[in-house]
Homo-oligomer: A and B are copies of this chain.
């Protein structure tokens, strides 16, 4: 650990598991959908976030310790963590694309942060200074250990990219102070917001210091015993209602639950605790089956930013926080590495295209915090420099009083290369499809270089070419998404049906060898489980991994989207202009003074016409808009 990781580093580096992740120097997105977004992230979002964090005082908070007397700290109690997430995002960005100026910027930020560290390692700008509450006096909502966790993650990223330095020294001081305070014989508390758990495991993976892993395991075991104070939303709000091993589903505050689950998987993997791994996998599986939006978004309640009961998934009040999307990718990735099960890669793809890609505006300077699947009243026009106080509705806002999502999405986009492929036994698995260059070594040390070229997700054809290989047989595996019914694979000019889940070609590859995957990209209807009351009698349209929506704007009005009735007997199609469309009636409701009566206010279906759709991730980019993902069908009419 005396030099940068030659493979470029990766966010998650488990010592065991079915798959081994690649580092950012081994896997590059070279073009297409995600390359555009990575470019905007690096060129605009990071500076945008830095500028706002200066403006709202969150960076300045670190310098306030020098002042005599009570300090006038700005921002919410967890604002330190946003600065740390930004440093992490910048670190991954310099791993993806070396940039000396950015590296110096990080060093300056690290110096600013480090100046606020106390001699015993403690570091938090909201507690312990004159006029502030004492350290660890409000574990339930103070977010001190949460902030520490994000500092550790930033340090892990920076160290893997640039080698050990000042940030790692700071982080180890913080981690050591945490272990000294909250160890087996110390303060038996836990943080109201999990995050420290997964961070401590990663710091253990980086440094080999076993006590970090032990402390993480202790935090995981301590949770679920109602040791935090009663909360107005119940102990489930901070996953303190049921021990991690006993729970059957994720519940309460979605980001809290997902971060905790990540930490639990990390602990399980490093300690060989398969019971714990199975417990968390089971919770996530049930969450996917009953508490997840079509977009992969999680969290259906605004009041507590929480999972609802099973099948409570309102489209018009979907919360689906961007941070929960990031956290769900983190959890699915950990479970994918641990188990190798393809469906976790499917989940990652779904969240990336439908939550993460939706979150960021084209210019990288405005963001969704919450992701509604149904906008009934037109989105507002929002001034460029206006901080948003609330979370709801569109359009994307440049900044939020609680701006956790913005640097969270930024760190994910900067490190996206790591999700493209993974080493698999003695071979390699391609997991996500994008123009990409993969240059890595197999388990036995042989070098393999792949070039992936595709128009994905517009096109379903993916060509994986071997550009270099050291010779000898090895297996190359491509994911076949579960939605891709009828996929075919072409090897040596011979086409055959692709199996479900994944296809493996084992051979003595030569440079120039190609495998071509054809994924069917016809738009398709998707129906909901009948227990999801909120979208009963509705249908959605998907195309490949992308969820579509109907949007009505000034320039392309569709009329009142709440009156559209899709004819489920006519499949969605690509229209003359290459746009996805569905045939629909525009219903005319009978005006009523009371909206309940002896018979449904039967709609006069006045005309059948095609309604153009667009990818959900493209919505709210064309001025004030209404929008629906789930479209009522004519089946509902009585």
| Segment touching B, from A38-46, A117-125, A489-497, A585-593 | A585-593
Q: Is A534 an interface residue (CB 8 A)?
A: yes
Given the known interface contacts A309-B377, A482-B594, A636-B537, the answer about A232 and B390 at a Cβ–Cβ threshold of 8 Å is yes
Bound Cα distance A288, B596 (Å): 10
**Contact, CB under 8 Å: A592 / B529:** yes
Q: Is A67 an interface residue (CB 8 A)?
A: no
Bound Cα distance A232, B302 (Å): 13
Instruction: Say how far A36's CB is from chain B's closest CB, in angstroms.
Output: 28
Given the known interface contacts A528-B595, A593-B285, the answer about A309 and B303 at a Cβ–Cβ threshold of 8 Å is no
Q: Is A343 an interface residue (CB 8 A)?
A: yes
Which residues of B have CB within 8 Å of A377? Answer: 309
CB interface residues, A 620-638, toward B, < 8 Å: 630, 632, 635-638
Which residues of B have CB within 8 Å of A315? Answer: 533
Instruction: Say how far A528's CB is from chain B's closest CB, in angstroms.
Output: 6
Given the known interface contacts A389-B232, A390-B233, the answer about A531 and B563 at a Cβ–Cβ threshold of 8 Å is yes
**Contact, CB under 8 Å: B595 / A290:** yes
The one of B288, B314, B595, B637 in contact with A289, judged by C-beta atoms closer than 8 angstroms, is: B595
CB interface residues, A 272-310, toward B, < 8 Å: 285, 288-290, 292, 294, 301-303, 308-310
List 20 other contacts, CB 8 Å, given A526-B597, A531-B562. Answer: A232-B390, A288-B593, A294-B596, A302-B302, A311-B376, A311-B562, A312-B317, A312-B376, A314-B533, A485-B598, A527-B597, A527-B638, A528-B595, A530-B587, A530-B589, A533-B535, A536-B536, A536-B537, A537-B636, A540-B596
Q: Is A230 an interface residue (CB 8 A)?
A: yes
| Segment touching B, from A58-66, A444-452, A599-607 | A599-607
Q: Is A538 an interface residue (CB 8 A)?
A: yes
Q: Which of A568, A587, A600, A630 has the most CB of B within 10 A?
A: A600
Q: Is A316 an interface residue (CB 8 A)?
A: yes
**Contact, CB under 8 Å: B303 / A530:** no
**Contact, CB under 8 Å: A568 / B534:** no
Instruction: Say how far A3's CB is from chain B's closest CB, in angstroms.
Output: 43
Bound Cα distance A603, B593 (Å): 35
Number of contact residues on A: which range applies?
Answer: 35 or more
Given the known interface contacts A309-B377, A374-B533, A589-B529, the answer about A594 and B389 at a Cβ–Cβ threshold of 8 Å is no
Which residues of B have CB within 8 Å of A537? Answer: 536-537, 636
A selection of 16 A-B contacts at a CB cut-off of 8 Å is A231-B389, A289-B593, A308-B316, A309-B316, A309-B376, A485-B598, A524-B598, A526-B596, A527-B597, A527-B599, A527-B638, A529-B601, A530-B637, A531-B595, A532-B595, A540-B596
Which residues of B have CB within 8 Å of A524? Answer: 598
Minimal Cβ-Cβ distance residue in B for A632: B536
Q: Which of A230, A303, A525, A563 has the most CB of B within 10 A?
A: A303
Bound Cα distance A377, B485 (Å): 36
**Contact, CB under 8 Å: A638 / B635:** yes
Bound Cα distance A587, B536 (Å): 15
Minimal Cβ-Cβ distance residue in B for A386: B230
The one of B389, B587, B589 in contact with A230, judged by C-beta atoms closer than 8 angstroms, is: B389
The one of B234, B301, B317, B600 in contact with A527, judged by C-beta atoms closer than 8 angstroms, is: B600
Bound Cα distance A485, B599 (Å): 14
